[in-house]
Amino acid sequence: MIADMLECARAWAADDPHDGDRAELEALVAASSTDPTATAELTRRFAGPLTFGTAGLRGPLRAGPAGMNAAVVTRAAAGLARYLAEEGHVGRGIAVGFDARHRSDEFARVTAGVLTGAGFAVSVLPRPLPTPVLSFAVRHLGAVAGVMVTASHNPPRDNGYKVYLSDGAQLVPPADRLIEAAIGAVGSARDVARGEEWTILGDDVEDDYVAAVVAALQPDRLDAAARRRLVVAYTAMHGVGAQTTARVFAAAGFAPVHSVPEQERPDPEFPTVAFPNPEEPGAVDLLVALADRAGADVAIAEDPDADRCSVVCGGRQLTGDEVGVLLADWLLRRGVRGTYAASLVSGSLLGRLTEAHGVPFAETPTGFKWIIRAGTPAAPLVFGYEEALGYAVTPSVAHDKDGISAALAVALLAAELAVDGRTLTDRLDELAREHGLFATGQLSVRVEDLSLISGAMARLRARPPAQLLGRDVEATDLAEADLPVDAVRLLGEGVRVIVRPSGTEPKLKAYLEVVVPVSDDAGVPAARRRGAAELDQLRVEMISTLEL
């Protein structure tokens, strides 16, 4: 088996169009005769190709089929071109965007060259820009597809490749499987035709995106002075969102945000955070400190490609479920009617809110590629979210999650509440008194050996717990349910757990929820304390259940 793997590595290296990647593999092959770690590294790189997960291709920057590199990107672009050609789209336009991660600009050029060589009219965004701008550009330019080179919130040594079709939304079956099959049929990366005459776009697309977001959220419905008074702290987390976000806020009539200086400029090393993900412990520490110094009413963190955002109010980082419910409640009170959607791993309160307002609610599989497709012609999607800090507040603008429009919506809501001396957390308390306290949390286990995840899922399916928090629970294998996903749901009175493998990272995740009634005597603070204690106990019980 090792001899076969080495032969595969030599063949891949000989075909690799990138000098640096080829030399990297050749050095590992040479070292493998005396260094077991080199053999182990080659085994990882040739264990299999990257596959389309929840958000397209994503993986570590390294040579070989199981990494992000020029050869993999060449084949991905060629496979996309073949699929689009078979669908009858040769000659149509394709939009390409990229963030500021290591090699993102290179991979965008490789993509543009391959797609141009295949006969498509390729337009490349002028510089590193947020993912929502690319999603917007696909429909705005009338393109048949789009590619965004980004690994979003993954570690610094990762990169990724998101593919959009003409609707500006991420791939769903069968297109993802058909493109994956087309990639597998590409053959030699060196033999792929390449062109050079693609178009570099100007600033027009970003200008139009900014105008569309502001028009959709109608900031003029709130007094101009109230908007100017709001103090906002902000961080781009070393990503590409700062400039576009500043433009959106200015166009909406807000004062300039207070931006974390150490994190304002793009930096692919993400030097001030362990992981460039606002969900990770410590990631928003600099933002919280700045908010305190500036006396900010609200603090907002975007992830590196600005398709997610996190919110801090009064020193407390809100959960994705809390922000999702606040935004939905704000839109509902504004009279925005249509379908409201959330992924099945998100909290249950949105369903309660939509029922109270008499509007449709859709529960979808995990991932914005499903959320953005919720709704019907009679009741189109007007808002969607998932607990991992992703929100579609303006789905008519970007057919994907959009941290920039969500940030503006949060600011408008905070400014509106401030007129009456209230805050985002005050509104959460009001919702808890009206509907009960829905407390959500997560247990996330990162692994190196993916077999640990499959093993834990198999054990859970074979021996699900009969009780959690002392309450009877019923287990449902969602792989066999109406929402076919690789997940198990445990549901009982006031308690819910959904366990699934992550679609973008080597993690097993358990999504936890408890519902606590709010007593007139003890009030919301007591309910929050009880909810936090029950979540802590639920984590302990699930760690034991999963045996990880």
Shared domain for 194 and 159, answered yes or no, is: yes
What integer pLDDT is reported at residue 446 of this predicted model? 85
Taking the model in full, what pTM does it have? 0.94
What integer pLDDT is reported at residue 165 of this predicted model? 95
Written as one letter, the residue type at 507 is K
What integer pLDDT is reported at residue 126 of this predicted model? 98
* Helix (H) / strand (E) containing 437: strand 437-446
Strands of the 488-492 sheet, one edge to the other: 437-446, 507-516, 495-501, 488-492, 471-477, 467-468
Shared domain for 363 and 445, answered yes or no, is: no
Shared domain for 255 and 314, answered yes or no, is: yes
**SS3 sequence, 129-197?**
CCHHHHHHHHHHCCCCEEEEECCCCCCCCEEEEEEEECCCCECCCCHHHHHHHHHHCCCCCCCCCCCCC
Shared domain for 43 and 54, answered yes or no, is: no
Shared domain for 7 and 28, answered yes or no, is: yes
What integer pLDDT is reported at residue 54 of this predicted model? 60
Residue 541 belongs to a domain with what CATH number? 3.30.310.50
- φ, ψ of residue 495 in degrees (nearest 5): -145, 140
Instruction: Count other Cβ atoms within 10 Å, centred on residue 142.
Output: 10
**Residue after which a domain boundary falls, among 201, 225, 251:** 201
- Give the Cα separation of 292 and 299 in Å (integer): 9
What integer pLDDT is reported at residue 504 of this predicted model? 66
Shared domain for 124 and 263, answered yes or no, is: no
Q: What's the average pLDDT block by block, 10 residues per block, for the chain (548 residues)?
A: 89 97 96 93 92 80 97 97 97 98 98 98 98 98 98 95 95 91 94 97 98 98 98 98 98 98 98 94 96 98 98 96 98 98 96 97 93 97 96 97 98 98 97 96 86 91 96 94 84 97 83 93 91 97 90
The Cα diameter of the chain in Å comes to 74
**Residue after which a domain boundary falls, among 400, 433, 466:** 433
Nearest alpha-carbon partner for 275 in 156, 363, 120, 144: 156
- Give the Cα separation of 322 and 206 in Å (integer): 30
What integer pLDDT is reported at residue 2 of this predicted model? 82
**Non-local CB neighbours of 452 within 8 Å, separated by 6+ positions:** 508, 548
Task: Specify the residue for token string 């939009």.
Answer: 95
Shared domain for 308 and 380, answered yes or no, is: yes
**Which segments of 403-491 does DSSP mark as H helices, in order?**
403-419, 424-435, 451-462
> Could you give the number of structural domains in the chain?
4
The single residue of 135, 152, 310, 405 carrying the catalytic annotation is: 152
Shared domain for 238 and 333, answered yes or no, is: yes
Residue 150 belongs to a domain with what CATH number? 3.40.120.10
Shared domain for 25 and 59, answered yes or no, is: no
**Tokens of residue 205, six digits:** 């697309």
* Helix (H) / strand (E) containing 324: helix 320-333
**Residue after which a domain boundary falls, among 182, 201, 220:** 201
- Give the Cα separation of 231 and 105 in Å (integer): 35
- Give the Cα separation of 425 and 427 in Å (integer): 5
What integer pLDDT is reported at residue 483 of this predicted model? 67
* DSSP SS3 for 537: helix
What integer pLDDT is reported at residue 53 of this predicted model? 67
- φ, ψ of residue 445 in degrees (nearest 5): -120, 115
- Give the Cα separation of 490 and 499 in Å (integer): 8
Shared domain for 508 and 524, answered yes or no, is: yes
- φ, ψ of residue 298 in degrees (nearest 5): -155, 150
- The whole domain housing 513 covers 436-546
Task: Note if 152 is an active site residue.
Answer: yes
Shared domain for 31 and 61, answered yes or no, is: no
**Tokens of residue 400, six digits:** 């994907």
Shared domain for 36 and 178, answered yes or no, is: no
